[in-house]
């Protein structure tokens, strides 16, 4: 079942309730990917209603650029439609300081907290009065952050869109492997479903470390034509990534990766969800929960758009024909 | 998969060398080593570069240097290849070990995640295909227990120690520093390389993943989950390397030998012209100048120059040799053989005749008027006469005959293979030819005749000297017969002549002692140190009927043969005493030296006779100095000393005559109570030119001084000798320069002689 969220955020609350009730899993299937549009569509006409003012604290796990950009995008999006009071807090990794920062948040009477990154999510999980939207947490199931007052936005690509794109590029693709660490059941289930839709069998295996990641990757059955590599830091090392991607390229297996650098090692596709997309979903969740005591909707929203880069050289080596609508995504 | 329990300590595979050699074997081994050393030393010394021989061939030297350098380069090349290969192979082993660790690290992944037994079976299957993997162990990280173990068949019975805690720590540290391996050489005889490496898992930190950069230096989390230990046996590869190196060395060696052989050929070819010099040079070094050097213009420029120089030198040597031969064997005036060479030819002829039972003749030719020509027309005319006579004689002999100028105006001929009759014919023809010969000089013509002595050379054992003597005697006979004739030597005739001669001499000597034919001549002896009394030596002379004065040599041998020598000696003593007496009567004092022959010196009644004569003359015996030859005195030293002492008791003094010519030791001088030592003239005559004579005279003077004896030098014939003797410290001088023997003691004449000599010579007053 597919539900279009972004243009319909002003639909009737009943419809929303119905949607929530009908959803089989807490993960929302995104809209089909539109290659022509590089940025998510903004609502063409917005009727601003008087709503209570948002008092948001954005917690960043570190001063990393990705967090800063996302925070900036969130603030920017909120400014457009909402009275708001946004405070940005950056964790340093120092336990004492971080505890002190949390205490300030606790006493700051914020209605909402946005946690960017796992460290921030961990801290925010200790808040009880504020509604928390977390993002940039790779594995929200370990530990399980989601609750009525704390829900997230995934920065992983939409499996539906990914497999659709992948199938379009490689029509004969029938079997793909996905190796993850444990506790990725939800996302893997969504991914399997999305793969099935495209007639692709997703072979999933849990591995414990980078060594096993390499070992298993090198011993995938010959029927497996490709491997999707998620940014699963627990089982990845740089050398393992390079080894596996290189190995796949040498053995005619297609690799879908989360790092552009791996294209030069033989990856076929690079998939990445833009920070702005994630920021939009975070803002959406904030608005949805405005004036409420819980955050409605699924535990984790998955982005509906992602950036895609096709490795032309590898595609050529694999005898893949790049469809015209993907030409603009081809790497040079 | 092996036992996971830690095995007990490994048995150390010590291999002690066998020491079962017996003492005898050791001894023979020592001897063998010595022999080997000796052989090697000889070989080493035979190597031209290390030979102790002074002269070494340039070719050999160059070859030796070539070989030496070649050997050095060869050894360096082999050493370089060996070291380089060893380094390469060690690096290769390290790389292989690293590869193995990487491979086994990956293969062993399931051991830490899944079913150990099942997983390791596949690993075992894999590694068993590689013989270099001797054993393999996986350890857990916590207790370092063995999770899985593999051993090759070769090591099944061998226990290998587990790494100790330090090894694990070292491996961990190495990994921390970026080195994947901890390698140690196994202490077994299996030449194993043991490698211990931790199994590490890495993960990207969660925060880094949000800002992921593949090439970033962002630190990853690491964790050691276990260890791999693998024993790699590369001995097979090492052996292959050794085999290859040995082959390479042999190849190098063969190349080196070929290069050396080729080098030798090239060097010999390049130095061929130099080598060609060696053989003739060796001959030349041995004195053989009948060699020639190839100075071919195609040869090397330097060698051609050397060859030309040597050829020129040899030619000069040959010329000089020829000249020397000419000088040695031929008479420079006439070109005939000289006396020396003729003597050789005569000996050869005597040998031939003895061998072949043949006969030849020796002709001794003496020109009769040569002295007249020489004295009146000069030596040049005399030389011309000799040349013409030589030409004449050459024309009178056969080709096989031998003609020589024997000396002066004497010629000799060997007429080969002739009997007495034929020899006489030859002699007669020569006499006739000479009779017809006219020597023209200065518009005047002279008739020159010759006397020829003829002696037959028969195989009767006569020597060359005897043959000469016979021919000489025959020539004398020819002259006695009136010259211009020949006379053949006859033994019987000669003996008869001798008897007749002796008979004549006996009468003549006896008569001479009464008729005044015998007389004393007096030769002055000058003191070089002071102006003491006059010294003379009394010398015996005989006057012949034709007024000729005969020296003692002419008649003393006959006198001795006839037993008249002692009588003559007493005559001399008596007359010497008389002379002194006469001087004394004139108021003069002289010292007179009187010679005592060996025969009279040893006569039993000498002292008695001398005492009687002394009494008769009534002279001072101290004025008389008896001279006894060194040979006479030394012959019976004790007896001589007694005799001298007896006469000295009478007041006479003694001088040792001819001192230095005997072979006696100086030691006897101490036993002979003589007052004077008369140095033999043979030392004095050439002393100014001969440093040896000078040294000997100095030594004699020095000894005489020590023994408190005075030195008299005889045969002083020039001023330089006299001055040198004075400088040396001689006491007296005697000789023709000082004064010739004279019939009277005329000291004035001696003064006159000295008047023009050096001022440092002391003049004695008359």
pLDDT value for A218 = 94
Q: What's CA B17's distance to the chain center, in Å?
A: 58
Nearest chain A residue to B205 by CA: give it. A233
Dihedral sign computed on CA atoms, order A155, A157, A159, A161: positive
Whether residue B765 is predicted with pLDDT greater than 50 in this model: the reply is no
Chain A residue numbers with beta carbons less than 8 Å from the beta carbon of B215 are: 261
Q: How far is it, in rounded angstroms, from Cα A154 to Cα A231?
A: 12
Tell me how crowded residue B325 is: count the other CB atoms within 10 A of its CB: 11
List b or e across A261-285, with b for residues whose CB sees 16 or more CB atoms inside 10 angstroms: bbbbbbbbbbbbbbbbbbbbbbbbb
Q: Is the pLDDT confidence value at A3 over 50? A: no
Nearest to A259 among B109, B199, B214 (CB): B214
Separation in Å, CA of A225 to nearest CA in chain B: 22
Q: For residue B187, name the pLDDT band (cuts at 50, 70, 90).
A: low
Chain segment B98-120, per-residue pLDDT in tens: 888 888 988 888 888 766 667 78
> Distance between CA B24 and CA B28 in Å, rounded?
6
Q: How many other CB atoms are found less than 10 A from the CB of residue A74?
A: 28
Q: Report the residue of chain A nearest B105, measured CA to CA.
A: A211
With contacts defined as CB-CB under 8 Å, which chain A residues touch B211?
Answer: 64-66
The pLDDT value given to residue A304? 81
Query: Is some CB atom of chain A closer than 8 A to the CB atom of B208?
Result: yes
Instruction: Give the per-residue pLDDT at B287.
Output: 81
pLDDT band at A171 (very low <50, low <70, confident <90, very high): very high
Confidence of residue B664 (pLDDT cuts 50, 70, 90): low
The confidence score (pLDDT) of residue B645 equals: 92
Determine, for residues A241 and B211 on separate chains, whether the beta-carbon distance falls below 8 Å.
no
Task: Say which range, B24-38, B343-357, B576-590, has the weakest mean pLDDT.
Answer: B24-38
Instruction: Please give the pLDDT value at position B43.
Output: 67
Could you write out the DSSP letters of every residue in A244-294?
HHHHHHHTT-EEEES-GGGGGGT-SEEEE--HHHHHHHHHHHHHHTTT-SS
The pLDDT of residue B748: 55
Q: Per the CB < 8 Å rule, is A238 touching B105?
A: no
Residues 416-455 of B with CB under 8 A from A: none
Which residue of A lies nearest to B109 if distances are taken between CA atoms?
A212
> Within 10 Å of residue B405's Cβ, how many Cβ atoms?
26
Structure tokens, B98: 């690293």
For the ranges B45-54, B276-285, B363-372, the lowest mean pLDDT is seen at B45-54
Judge whether B205 is closer than 8 Å to chain A, CB to CB.
yes
Residue A165 has pLDDT above 90, yes or no: yes
Partners of B119 on chain A (C-beta within 8 Å) are: none
Could you tell me which residues are beta bridge partners of residue A309? A270
Q: Which of A64, A212, A239 sits opposite B207 (nearest CB)?
A: A64
Q: Does A233 touch chain B (CB under 8 A)?
A: yes
Nearest residue on chain B to A215, alpha-carbon basis:
B106
Question: Is B112 an 8 Å CB contact of chain A?
Answer: yes
Instruction: Catalogue the E-assigned strands of B569-680.
Output: 590-596, 624-629, 653-659, 676-679
| Tens-digit pLDDT profile for residues B584-619 | 888 888 889 999 888 888 888 889 999 999 999 899
CA distance A159 to chain B (A): 19
Q: What is the mean pLDDT of residues B329-345?
A: 89
Mutation site, B180, B204, B224, interface A, largest A CB count within 10 A? B204
Q: What percent of chain A is predicted at pLDDT more than 90?
A: 45
Residue with tokens 């520093």: B177
Nearest residue in B to A234, CA atom = B203
Summarize pLDDT for B130-149 with one digit per residue, the tens. Answer: 888 889 999 998 888 898 99
Quick: pLDDT tens for B360-397. Answer: 999 999 988 787 788 788 888 889 999 999 999 998 88
Q: Which of B700, B630, B712 is nearest to B671 (CA)?
A: B630
For residues B292-313, average pLDDT: 79
Beta strand pairing call for A131-135 and A150-153: parallel
Is residue B573 within 8 A of residue B619, CB to CB? The reply is no
> Residue B201: which of A65, A136, A209 has the nearest Cβ?
A209
pLDDT of B228 > 80? The answer is: yes
Looking at CA atoms only, how far is residue B223 from chain A in angstroms? 10
Out of B106, B112, B214, the one facing A238 most closely (by C-beta) is: B214
Q: What does the alpha-carbon distance between residue B292 and residue B284 come to, in Å, rounded to a whole number? A: 9
Which of A276, A253, A258, A269 minimizes the C-alpha distance to A329? A269
Three-state secondary structure call for residue B687 = coil
Select from A119, A136, A214 the Cβ nearest to the Cβ of B106.
A214
Distance, in angstroms, between A218 CA and closest chain B CA?
Answer: 10
The whole-number pLDDT of residue B46 equals 64
Mean pLDDT score across all residues of chain A: 82
Per-residue model confidence (pLDDT) at position B448: 87
Question: How far is it, in rounded angstroms, from Cα B708 to Cα B150?
Answer: 118
Return the higher-pLDDT residue of B253 and A46: B253
Check if A236 contacts B (Cβ < 8 Å). Answer: yes
| Cβ contacts of B137 within 8 Å, gap of 6 or more | B2, B146, B148, B149, B150, B162, B228, B229, B230
Confidence at residue B611, expressed as pLDDT on a 0 to 100 scale: 92
Residue A129, CB half-sphere, CA atoms under 13 Å: how many?
A: 12
Interface check A159 vs B, CB under 8 A: no
**Over chain B, what is the mean pLDDT?**
81
Contact A211 B112 (CB under 8 A): yes
Over residues A298-325, mean pLDDT:
90
What is the per-residue pLDDT across B406-427, written as a single tens digit (0 to 9) for each?
888 899 999 999 999 999 999 9
Residue B197 in tokens: 């490496």
B109 contacts in chain A (CB < 8 Å): 211-212, 214-215
- Give me the pLDDT at residue B6, please: 39
Closest CA to A156 of A77, A271, A26: A271
Q: Which chain A residues have a beta carbon less than 8 Å from that of B113?
A: 207-208, 212
User: Which pLDDT tens digit goes with each residue over B526-551?
Assistant: 888 766 567 889 999 988 777 778 88
pLDDT number for residue B18: 36
What H or E segment, with its residue span, contains residue B445?
A: strand B444-447
Residue B651 near residue B622 (C-beta atoms within 8 A):
yes
Q: B141 touching A, CB under 8 A? A: no
Interface predicted TM-score of the whole assembly (ipTM), two decimals: 0.78
A interface test, pick of B107, B207, B213 with most A CB neighbours within 10 Å? B207
First to last CA, chain A: 37
- A209 and B205 in contact by Cβ < 8 A? no
User: Which residues from A are below 8 Å from B210, CB to CB?
Assistant: 61, 64, 66-67, 117, 136
Q: Cβ contact (<8 Å) for A118 and B207? A: yes
Please report the pLDDT score of residue B760 as a whole number. 37
* pLDDT tens digits, one per residue of B233-257: 877 777 887 888 888 888 888 888 8
Residues of A in contact with B225 (CB under 8 A): 209, 211
Subunit contact B209:A138, Cβ cutoff 8 A: yes
- Element holding A20 (H helix, E strand): helix A13-22
* Chains A & B: contacts with CB separation below 8 Å: 80
- Whether B260 has a pLDDT exceeding 50, the answer reads yes
Q: Mean pLDDT: which of A279-293, B16-30, B31-45 is highest?
A: A279-293
Of B289 and A48, more confident: B289
User: How confident is the model at residue A50, as a pLDDT?
Assistant: 52
- Does A118 touch chain B if contact means CB atoms closer than 8 Å? yes
The pLDDT tens digits for B56-114 are 677 777 778 878 888 888 888 888 888 888 788 778 888 888 888 888 988 888 888 76
pLDDT for the residue numbered A33: 37
User: Among A70-74, A128-132, B529-533, which stretch is predicted with the lowest mean pLDDT?
Assistant: B529-533
Check CB contact under 8 Å for A238 and B207: no
Q: Does B663 contact A at CB distance below 8 Å?
A: no
Q: What is the pLDDT of residues B428-444, one digit of tens each?
A: 999 999 988 888 888 88
Is residue A138 less than 8 Å (CB to CB) from chain B?
A: yes
């Amino acid at each position: 079942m597919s539900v279009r969220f972004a243009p319909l955020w002003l639909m009737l609350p009943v419809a929303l309730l119905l949607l929530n009730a009908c959803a089989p899993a807490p993960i929302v299937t995104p809209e089909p990917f539109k290659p022509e549009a590089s940025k998510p569509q903004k609502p063409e006409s917005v009727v601003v209603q008087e709503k209570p003012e948002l008092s948001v604290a954005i917690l960043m796990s570190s001063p990393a650029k990705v967090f800063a950009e996302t925070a900036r995008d969130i603030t920017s999006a909120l400014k457009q439609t909402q009275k708001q009071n946004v405070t940005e807090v950056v964790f340093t990794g120092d336990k004492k300081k971080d505890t002190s920062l949390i205490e300030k948040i606790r006493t700051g009477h914020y209605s909402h907290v946005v946690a960017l990154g796992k460290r921030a999510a961990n801290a925010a999980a200790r808040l009880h009065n504020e509604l928390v939207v977390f993002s940039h947490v790779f594995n929200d199931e370990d530990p399980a952050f989601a609750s009525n007052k704390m829900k997230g936005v995934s920065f992983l690509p939409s499996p539906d869109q990914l497999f659709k794109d992948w199938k379009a590029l490689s029509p004969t693709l029938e079997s793909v492997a996905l190796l993850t660490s444990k506790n990725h059941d939800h996302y893997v289930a969504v991914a399997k479903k999305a793969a099935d839709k495209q007639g692709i069998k997703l072979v999933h295996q849990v591995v414990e470390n980078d060594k096993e990641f390499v070992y298993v990757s090198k011993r995938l059955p010959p029927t497996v034509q490709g491997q999707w590599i998620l940014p699963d830091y627990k089982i990845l090392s740089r050398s393992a990534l390079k080894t596996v991607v290189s190995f796949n390229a040498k053995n005619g297996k297609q690799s879908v990766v989360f790092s552009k650098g791996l294209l030069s090692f033989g990856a076929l596709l690079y998939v990445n969800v833009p920070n702005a997309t994630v920021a939009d979903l975070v803002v959406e969740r904030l608005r949805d929960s405005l004036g409420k005591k819980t955050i409605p909707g699924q535990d984790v929203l998955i982005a509906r758009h992602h950036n895609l880069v096709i490795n032309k050289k590898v595609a050529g080596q694999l005898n893949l024909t790049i469809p015209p609508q993907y030409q603009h995504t081809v790497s040079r | 998969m092996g036992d996971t329990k830690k095995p007990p300590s490994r048995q150390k595979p010590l291999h002690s060398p066998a020491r079962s050699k017996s003492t005898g074997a050791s001894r023979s081994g020592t001897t063998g080593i010595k022999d080997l050393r000796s052989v090697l030393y000889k070989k080493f010394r035979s190597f031209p570069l290390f030979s102790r021989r002074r002269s070494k061939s340039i070719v050999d030297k160059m070859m030796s240097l070539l070989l030496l350098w070649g050997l050095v380069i060869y050894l360096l090349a082999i050493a370089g290849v060996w070291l380089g290969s060893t380094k390469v192979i060690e690096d290769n082993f390290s790389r292989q070990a690293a590869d193995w660790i990487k491979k086994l690290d990956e293969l062993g992944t399931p051991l830490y995640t899944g079913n150990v037994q099942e997983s390791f079976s596949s690993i075992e299957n894999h590694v068993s295909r590689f013989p270099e993997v001797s054993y393999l162990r996986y350890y857990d990280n916590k207790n370092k227990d063995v999770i899985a173990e593999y051993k090759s068949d070769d090591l099944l019975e061998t226990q290998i120690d587990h790494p100790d805690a330090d090894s694990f720590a070292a491996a961990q540290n190495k990994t921390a520093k970026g080195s994947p391996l901890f390698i140690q050489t196994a202490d077994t005889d299996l030449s194993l390389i043991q490698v211990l490496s931790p199994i590490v898992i890495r993960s990207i930190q969660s925060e880094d993943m949000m800002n992921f950069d593949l090439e970033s230096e962002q630190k990853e989390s690491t964790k050691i989950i276990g260890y791999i230990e693998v024993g790699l046996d590369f001995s097979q590869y090492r052996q292959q390397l050794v085999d290859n190196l040995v082959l390479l060395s042999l190849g190098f060696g063969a190349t080196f030998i070929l290069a050396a052989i080729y080098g030798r050929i090239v060097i010999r070819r390049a130095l061929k012209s130099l080598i060609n010099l060696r053989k003739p040079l060796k001959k030349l070094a041995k004195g053989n100048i009948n060699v020639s050097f190839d100075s071919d213009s195609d040869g090397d420029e330097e060698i051609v120059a050397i060859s030309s120089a040597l050829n020129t030198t040899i030619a000069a040597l040959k010329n000089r040799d020829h000249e020397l031969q000419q000088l040695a064997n031929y008479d420079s005036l006439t070109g005939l053989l000289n006396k020396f060479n003729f003597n050789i030819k005569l000996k050869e002829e005597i040998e031939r005749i003895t061998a072949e039972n043949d006969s030849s003749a020796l002709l001794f030719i003496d020109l009769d008027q040569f002295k007249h020509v020489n004295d009146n027309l000069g030596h040049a005319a005399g030389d011309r006469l000799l040349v013409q006579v030589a030409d004449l004689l050459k024309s009178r002999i056969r080709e096989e005959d031998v003609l020589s100028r024997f000396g002066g105006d004497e010629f000799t001929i060997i007429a080969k293979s002739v009997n007495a009759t034929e020899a006489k014919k030859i002699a007669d023809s020569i006499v006739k030819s000479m009779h017809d010969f006219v020597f023209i000089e200065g518009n005047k013509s002279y008739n020159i005749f010759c006397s020829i002595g003829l002696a037959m050379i028969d195989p009767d054992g006569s020597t060359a000297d005897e043959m000469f003597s016979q021919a000489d005697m025959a020539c004398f006979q020819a002259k006695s017969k009136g010259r211009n004739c020949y006379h053949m030597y006859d033994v019987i005739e000669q003996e008869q002549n001798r008897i007749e001669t002796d008979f004549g001499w006996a009468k003549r000597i006896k008569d001479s002692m009464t008729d005044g034919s015998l007389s004393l001549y007096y030769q002055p002896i000058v003191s070089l140190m002071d102006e003491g009394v006059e010294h003379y030596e009394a010398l015996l002379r005989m006057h012949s009927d034709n007024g000729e004065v005969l020296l003692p040599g002419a008649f003393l041998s006959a006198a001795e043969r006839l037993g008249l020598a002692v009588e003559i000696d007493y005559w001399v003593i008596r007359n010497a005493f008389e002379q002194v007496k006469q001087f004394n009567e004139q108021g003069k004092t002289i010292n007179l030296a009187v010679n005592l022959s060996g025969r009279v010196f040893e006569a039993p009644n000498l002292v008695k006779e001398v005492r009687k004569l002394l009494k008769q003359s009534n002279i001072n015996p101290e004025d008389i100095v008896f001279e006894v030859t060194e040979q006479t005195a030394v012959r019976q030293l004790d007896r001589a000393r007694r005799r001298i002492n007896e006469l000295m008791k009478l007041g006479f003094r003694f001088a040792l005559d001819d001192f230095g010519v005997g072979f006696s030791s100086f030691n006897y001088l101490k036993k002979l109570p003589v007052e004077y030592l008369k140095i033999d003239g043979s030392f004095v005559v050439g002393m100014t030119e001969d440093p040896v004579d000078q040294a000997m005279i100095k030594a004699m003077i020095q000894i005489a001084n020590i023994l408190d004896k005075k030195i008299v030098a005889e045969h002083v014939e020039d001023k330089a000798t006299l001055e040198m003797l004075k400088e040396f410290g001689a006491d007296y001088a005697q000789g023709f320069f000082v004064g010739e023997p004279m019939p009277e003691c005329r000291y004035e004449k001696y003064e006159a002689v000295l008047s023009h000599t050096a001022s440092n010579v002391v003049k004695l007053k008359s």
